[in-house]
């Protein structure tokens, strides 16, 4: 009788039948498995998770220590799986759960936990579209004065009077960099002015794709200015993909051609000081702009004017006065102002202890 009683105590009851679900709010390929712990959970080492495709063999896909009752499995979307949980002690399976229902993983279109971001995007889009509409109606949009851009026409005029070229360096990054795209927008406006004044514009490039785009931008600008005959494709050229070989070539151009104006607009790395110092030694007017916080101090020190951060992005709207760009710029500014206001209000509510209100909007 005593032996039978001891044997009954040693029996490990299986964990509960697994409850399986496609993990919500993800891109798919994940299934969550949950189960009730074995009543003898403290007597085992842990749980092994087994997976099988429909009518296929089971294979182990994971292990969790005792006390844990959930697991997330990486799967393939569109395939039905079922699961079984095994209690393990001393490396041996001592009990197995029932087999779960079939489940299939899939990606979701919308993350329900980020509904506040969705509302913010809608509000922001409405603000931008409203300002674009107002700009198209002819409403004057105020943009604060940017000295470097105001000096651009003076710099082009100086080069024209001196009979010297303008050197435009569109940064050293690829076309995937937002600073490069902003630089090419500015290049279009500069090219229009050089076409009007019949001034030579030199645009050396490091990236082959940027070189191709820059050629088309300058060519189109000359056409828009009514001077397609003045466009010279040899003035927009590719040098090399090597960083300091490119810089050496550009510095050589500065020393030989002695451009009256140097424009360094885009994304730069360690070569920024070399370019700016060489240009300063030739006596040229220098206007620089970048969103790289590491290179801004060098440009501020060595150049006459420097566009800092977002001033580079606003430059194309500032120069062209295009309603679409102006409206977008004003909409972005108001969007930032609203975000700043929300942050200030949320900070104040946190200070006075209204965390529950903030949790409703997923802010705290």
pLDDT at 348 exceeding the cut of 90: no
Residues 48 and 192 placed together within one structural domain of the fold: no
| Stretch among 31-45, 161-175, 345-359 having the lowest mean pLDDT | 345-359
Does residue 155 sit in the same domain as residue 264? yes
DSSP 3-15: HHHHHHHHPPPPP
pLDDT in tens, 247-279: 999 999 999 999 999 999 999 999 999 999 999
pLDDT of residue 9: 41
How much is the pLDDT for 115? 87
Q: Is 259 helix (H, G, I), strand (E, B) or coil?
A: coil
The answer on pLDDT for 323 being more than 70 is yes
Q: Check whether residue 152 and residue 284 sit in a common domain.
A: yes
Structure tokens at 72: 């997330």
Q: Is 244 among the domain residues?
A: yes
Residue 134 is assigned to a structural domain of this protein: no
Q: At 33, which CATH number?
A: 2.60.40.10
Q: Looking at 69, 96, 123, which one is the last position of a domain?
A: 96
pLDDT of residue 355: 64
Are 155 and 34 within one domain? no
Provide the domain limits for residue 24.
12-96
Beta-strand pair 285-290/261-265: parallel
DSSP 241: S
Considering the domain boundaries, does residue 160 fall inside one?
yes
Report the percentage of the chain scoring pLDDT > 70.
Answer: 94
CATH of the domain at 272: 3.40.50
**Alpha-carbon span 20 to 22, nearest angstrom:** 7
Going 317 to 318 to 319 to 320, the CA torsion angle's sign is positive
DSSP readout, 305-347?
EEEETHHHHHHHHHHH--HHHHHHHHHHHHHHHHHHHHHHHHH
The sign one gets for the Cα dihedral 72, 77, 82, 86 is negative
Are residues 171 and 84 located together in one domain of the fold? no
Whether residue 82 is contained in a domain is answered as yes
Domain membership of residue 105 (yes or no) is no
Of 96, 126, 158, which closes a domain? 96
CA atoms within a 13 Å half-sphere pointing along the CA-CB vector of 265: 31
CA 343 to chain centre: 22
Q: What pLDDT, on the 0 to 100 scale, is given for residue 362?
A: 57
Instruction: Based on the fold, state whether residues 175 and 245 are members of the same structural domain.
Output: yes
Q: Are residues 90 and 160 in the same domain?
A: no
> What does the longest C-alpha to C-alpha distance in the chain come to?
115
Q: Is the pLDDT of residue 86 over 60?
A: yes
Is 124 domain-assigned? no
For residues 15-39, average pLDDT: 95
The domain boundary, picked from 76, 96, 116, lies at 96
pLDDT greater than 60 at residue 208 = yes
Same domain, 191 and 273: yes
pLDDT greater at residue 55 or residue 187: 187
The CA distance from 172 to 285, in Å, is: 21
Same domain, 243 and 306: yes
Higher pLDDT, 5 or 102: 102
Q: Examine the domain organization and report whether 148 and 236 are in the same domain.
A: yes
Both 43 and 159 in a single domain? Answer: no
The count of structural domains within the chain is 2
Measured distance CA(239)–CA(82) in Å, rounded: 60
Higher per-residue pLDDT: 353 or 118: 118
Identify whether 339 is part of a domain: no
Statement: residue 6 has pLDDT above 80: no
Residue 350 confidence (pLDDT): 80
Write down the pLDDT at residue 2: 42
- At 153, the pLDDT band (50, 70, 90 cuts) reads confident
Q: How far is CA 181 from CA 78, 175, 345, in A?
A: 40, 6, 35
Q: Is residue 361 part of a domain?
A: no
Per DSSP, the three-state class of 46 is strand
Q: State CA 100 to chain mean position distance.
A: 41
Residue 166 and residue 87 share a domain: no
């Amino acid at each position: 009788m005593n032996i039978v009683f001891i044997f009954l105590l040693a029996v490990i009851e299986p964990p509960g039948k697994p409850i399986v679900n496609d993990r919500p709010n993800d891109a798919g390929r994940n299934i969550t498995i949950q189960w009730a712990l074995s009543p003898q959970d403290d007597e085992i080492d842990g749980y092994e998770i087994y997976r099988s495709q429909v009518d296929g063999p089971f294979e182990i896909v994971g292990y969790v220590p005792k006390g844990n009752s959930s697991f997330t499995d990486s799967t393939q979307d569109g395939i039905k799986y079922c699961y079984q949980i095994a209690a393990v002690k001393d490396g041996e399976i001592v009990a197995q759960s029932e087999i779960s229902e079939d489940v299939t993983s899939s990606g979701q279109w919308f993350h329900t936990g980020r509904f506040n971001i969705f509302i913010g995007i809608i509000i922001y889009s409405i603000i931008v579209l409203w300002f674009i509409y107002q700009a198209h109606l002819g409403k004057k949009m105020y943009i604060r004065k940017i000295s470097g851009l105001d000096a651009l026409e003076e710099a082009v005029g100086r080069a024209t009077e001196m009979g010297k070229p303008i050197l435009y360096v569109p940064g050293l990054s690829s076309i995937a960099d937002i600073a490069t795209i902003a630089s090419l927008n500015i290049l279009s406006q500069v090219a229009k002015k050089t076409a009007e004044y019949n001034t030579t514009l030199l645009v050396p490039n490091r990236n082959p794709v940027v070189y191709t785009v820059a050629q088309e931008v300058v060519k189109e600008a000359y056409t828009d200015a009514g001077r397609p005959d003045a466009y010279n494709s040899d003035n927009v050229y590719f040098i090399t993909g090597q960083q300091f070989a490119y810089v050496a070539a550009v510095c050589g151009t500065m020393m030989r051609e002695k451009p009256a104006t140097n424009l360094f607009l885009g994304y730069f790395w360690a070569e920024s000081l070399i370019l700016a110092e060489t240009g300063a030694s030739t006596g040229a007017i220098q206007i620089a702009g970048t969103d790289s916080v590491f290179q801004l101090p060098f440009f501020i020190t060595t150049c006459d004017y420097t566009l800092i951060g977002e001033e580079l992005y606003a430059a194309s709207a500032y120069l062209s006065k295009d309603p679409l760009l102006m409206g977008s710029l004003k909409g972005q500014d108001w969007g930032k102002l609203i975000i700043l206001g929300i942050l200030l209000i949320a900070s104040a509510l946190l200070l006075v202890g209204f965390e529950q209100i903030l949790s409703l909007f997923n802010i705290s």
